[in-house]
Amino acid sequence: MNLIRSVLHLLWMVVTVIPWALAVLIASPFLNSTRVYWMCAGWLKIAVGGGRLILGIKNRVTGMENLPRGSSDGAVLLVKHQSTWETFTMPAIMPHPLAYVFKKELLRVPFFGWAMSRLDMIHIDRSRRTEAFSKIVTQGRRLTGEGVWVIMFPEGTRIPRGEKGQYRTGGTRLAIECGAPVVPIAVTSAKCWPRKAFIKRPGIVDISIGPQIPSVGRRPDELMREVEAWIEAEMLRLDPEAYPTGEARPSKLKPGGKASPGTAELQFGIGVSA
Question: Is the pLDDT score of 268 beyond 90?
Answer: no
- The pLDDT value recorded for residue 267 is 32
Q: What would the pLDDT profile of 77-115 be if each residue is shown by its tens digit?
A: 999 999 999 999 999 999 999 999 877 788 888 888 888
| Domain locations along the chain | 2-273
Task: Tell me how far apart the alpha carbons of residues 80 and 93 are, in angstroms, rounded to a whole number.
Answer: 16
Are 148 and 74 spatial neighbours (Cβ–Cβ below 8 Å)?
Answer: yes
Which class does domain 2-273 fall in?
A: alpha beta
Question: What pTM value is reported for the model?
Answer: 0.88
Per-residue confidence (pLDDT) for residue 255, from 0 to 100: 61
pLDDT bucket at 273, cuts 50 / 70 / 90: very low
Among 176, 183, 184, CA closest to 228 = 184
* Confidence category of residue 72, pLDDT binned at 50, 70, 90: confident
